[in-house]
A and B are shown apart, each in its own frame.
Chain A
Amino acid sequence: AQSVTQPDIHITVSEGASLELRCNYSYGATPYLFWYVQSPGQGLQLLLKYFSGDTLVQGIKGFEAEFKRSQSSFNLRKPSVHWSDAAEYFCAVGRQNNNDMRFGAGTRLTVKP
């Protein structure tokens, strides 16, 4: 079965600084990869997804992620963080013909003023 590792439990960045959240996956075939964001007391909102094609995908709220097959990674990036980006971020991996989607444990982002 597929699995996801988010190595960083908690990250703190200053407002305006750049951000990179790490995600490593384990899956034998081509994965479907997702990043979701969860604000306190809210459900999960999809930021972006990768199924095939261009390995650099653009998402909402100025986020992007790059799929690197050689490193089994799908890191999330944002050039300039806003205070409203403070939330929990989840990476997830799914399979092509089944939506047995597995989530990582999440990375909590704190934004300093």
Chain B
Amino acid sequence: EAGVAQSPRYKIIEKRQSVAFWCNPISGHATLYWYQQILGQGPKLLIQFQNNGVVDDSQLPKDRFSAERLKGVDSTLKIQPAKLEDSAVYLCASSLGAGGGGNTIYFGEGSWLTVV
């Protein structure tokens, strides 16, 4: 079974530039998550989708971050304009349903962003 796919794996941009990350979840998984993991910290949930609807985006900095999951499968996370503090690994994850119901969350390998 294919895992969660993410691209690009690595990206270096200058501050104030924009960047987009793509995620393809495990086939059949209705729930998709984007996490931000800053060096030395645990992952922090940015946004959670159930199919193509947003379940939780309370920790998403909406002035510069946006995410969409138009057809309930793939998702894109965009940062515009980027700040130095956005340097982090962006992890995409998916689960069959909402994980609190006992569904395991599976993570991709992450997209590493460096803002200079």
Contacts and interface: CB of A to CB of B under 8 A. Distances in A.
Interface of A: 4, 32, 36, 41-46, 49, 51, 90, 92, 94-106
Given A101-B45, A103-B42, A43 B107 contact: yes
Contacts of A46: 104-106
Interface of B: 4, 31, 33, 40-45, 48, 55-56, 91, 93, 95, 98-110
Contact of A43 (B48, B55, B110): B110
A4 B40 CA distance: 15
Contact of B91 (A32, A44, A97): A44
Contacts of B100: 32, 94-101
Which of B33, B43, B48, B102 gathers most chain A CB within 10 Å?
B43
Contact of B98 (A4, A90, A98): A98
A49 to B, nearest CB: 7
A94 B43 contact: no
A43 B91 contact: yes
Nearest to B103: A99
A38 to B, nearest CB: 8
Contacts of B55: 98
Top 8 nearest A-B pairs by Cβ distance?
A103-B42, A99-B99, A43-B107, A44-B107, A43-B109, A99-B100, A98-B100, A99-B98
Contact of A106 (B41, B98, B101, B108): B41
Contact of A103 (B44, B48, B56, B106): B44
A41 B109 contact: yes
A76 B100 CA distance: 21
Contacts of A95: 100
